[in-house]
Amino acid sequence: MTLQDHHGRRFNYLRLSVTDVCNFSCNYCLPDGYQCSDSTPPLSVNEIRRVVTAFARQGTRKIRITGGEPSVRRDLPEIIRTVAAVSGIDDIALTTNGWKLPTFLPDWIDAGLTRLNVSIDSLDPRQFKAITGHDRLQDLLDGLAMAHEMGFNDIKVNAVLMRGHNADQLPHFLNWIRTTPVSLRFIELMQTSDNHKFFEENHISGDSIKAQLLDSGWQSVLRKSTDGPAQEFWHPDYAGRIGLIMPYSKDFCSSCNRLRVSANGQLHLCLFGDKGYDFRHLLGSDEQITDVITFLQDSLNEKKETHALHDGDTGVRTHFAGIGG
């Protein structure tokens, strides 16, 4: 069985949030930081196992663990190990701000992690601190070096494009990936319900970077069925690749292959949707997994063909976490 909507899109990729808490204060996302005020605890390890099992029985093969910042959960290695043990799951990714990457990475890899996404919005230490509120760029770079030394090479680095903060740093990034084998993805800044002024001042289209790449001999990479939303490019003179995530581009939603589950057990059919579908009441026992499957199939009937970003409709989403696949 495969999860499929009325528009012919198949969903084999789940983005699973394990916490709403984040310990960074990025200016484009949560400039004041965020500590969850809701007293409801996040999904337990057993609830996570049941979510992943239900998705796996419907053809999901890739799980991306996200937050907030997932590493604030001390049981993250147990979560990764639990997900890895679910039959049918063969790709386990983690999106992290990398705040203690050198400390945590060995345990994550030992637990079964297969892919790593790290956010690095600038390679200039001062600018990195200005964007994130933390002076941890070197920790991230040390963690990436450790990952390569351990033979862990499927690494993606996310950078949010912002006119006033890092848009002029493309040459610096290009010089870095000339010898660094990572997939560097530039993500267009997106409008949310509470960043209108910041968005208007800083949004730039990824099309300008795409044009520069193509003019410089970069070539498109063929997409795989479990890939995220990035358009990826390669160049024979570079060890790394470049990806562009452009949610305002034409037909962005046509290749959608992922669903999202929040830390409190709500299904989100779209990052920009205006509704979450609560199913935590179905996660109390293994006997309810078939009910979860029915719930997922029924909910997909509500998935729209496209988001409404072009109309200024950002749904209920109030911060940036979630798009980098």
Q: What is the DSSP string of 184-253?
A: EEEEE----TT-HHHHHHH---THHHHHHHHHTT-EEPPPPTT--S-EEEE-TT-SSEEEEE-TTSTTGG
Q: What is the pLDDT of residues 240-252, one digit of tens each?
A: 999 998 866 656 5
Dig out the tokens for 218 from the structure: 């970069």
In the chain, the largest separation of any two C-alpha atoms, in whole Å, equals 56
CB 153 within 8 Å of CB 240: no
DSSP H/E element including 63: strand 62-66
Dig out the tokens for 156 from the structure: 């993606």
**CB within 8 Å of 37: residues ≥ 6 apart:** none
pLDDT attached to residue 317:
47
Span between the terminal Cα atoms of the chain, in Å:
23
- As a whole number of Å, the CA-based R_g of the chain is 19
CB 112 within 8 Å of CB 80: yes
Q: Report how far residue 145's alpha carbon sits from residue 139's, in angstroms, rounded to the nearest whole number.
A: 10
Q: Quote the percentage of the chain above a pLDDT of 90.
A: 55
**CB within 8 Å of 241: residues ≥ 6 apart:** 177, 182, 183, 184, 221, 232, 233, 234
The pTM for the full model equals 0.87
pLDDT attached to residue 34:
54
Buried b (16+ CB within 10 A) or exposed e, 48-63: bbbbbbbbbbbebebb
Q: Report how far residue 155's alpha carbon sits from residue 93's, in angstroms, rounded to the nearest whole number.
A: 9
CB 191 within 8 Å of CB 199: yes
pLDDT attached to residue 211:
92
Point out the residues of the chain with pLDDT beneath 70. 1, 7-8, 27-38, 191-196, 225-228, 247-255, 272-274, 304-325
